[in-house]
């Protein structure tokens, strides 16, 4: 149980375009979903926290107009990178939590974004 999927696993897009990444909790309802970004050989940096049906809470330094997060249902959150630039190339990882199950976060497999 507690499986989180991400789609796509890899995406290449041209500079200036937008790309959407989906995060789904497959067998539980996620009251909270988290989005992280990870650069090579670095740790996971929390970008934003989203609760179903409400606006995401962004970490300091993360542009909310550039990284649009929608948590439309208890099993789906999306991250849209708008007007992507090469410096947005990174590994994006989502996680989901159901507080009824405890504090643990369940992580997705990640999405490798490359902006050319």
Structure tokens belonging to residue 32: 């909270």
Cis amide bond preceding 8, omega within 30: yes
Number of residues that bind other proteins (CB under 8 A): 25
Span 1-40, contacts to other proteins by CB under 8 A: 4, 6, 32, 34, 36
In terms of CB distance, is 77 or 110 closer to other proteins?
Answer: 110
In terms of CB distance, is 12 or 18 closer to other proteins?
Answer: 12
Q: For residue 49, with 0-12 CB atoms within 10 Å meaning exposed, 13-18 middle and 19 or more buried, which class applies?
A: middle
* 37 within 8 A of 94, measured Cβ to Cβ: no
* 95 within 8 A of 108, measured Cβ to Cβ: yes
In terms of CB distance, is 39 or 116 closer to other proteins?
Answer: 39
Q: What is the DSSP letter of 52?
A: T
Among 39, 55, 104, 114, binds other proteins (CB under 8 A): 104
Interaction of residue 44 with other proteins, rule CB under 8 A: yes
In terms of CB distance, is 49 or 70 closer to other proteins?
Answer: 49
CA dihedral 70, 73, 74, 80 (to 10 degrees): -20
Least separation in angstroms between CB 16 and other proteins = 27
What is the contact surface with other proteins in residues (CB under 8 A)? 4, 6, 32, 34, 36, 42-46, 49, 59-60, 91, 93, 95, 103-110, 112
């Amino acid at each position: 149980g507690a499986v989180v999927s991400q789609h796509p696993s890899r995406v290449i897009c041209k500079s200036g375009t937008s790309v959407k990444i989906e995060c789904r909790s497959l067998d539980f309802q996620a009251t909270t979903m988290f989005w992280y970004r990870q650069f090579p050989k670095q740790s996971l940096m929390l970008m934003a926290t989203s609760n179903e049906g409400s606006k995401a809470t962004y970490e300091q330094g993360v542009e909310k107009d550039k990284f649009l997060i929608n948590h439309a249902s208890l099993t789906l959150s999306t991250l849209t990178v708008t007007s992507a630039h090469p410096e947005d190339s990174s590994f994006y990882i989502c996680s989901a939590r159901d507080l009824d199950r405890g504090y643990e976060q369940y992580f997705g497999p990640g999405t490798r974004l490359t902006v050319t």
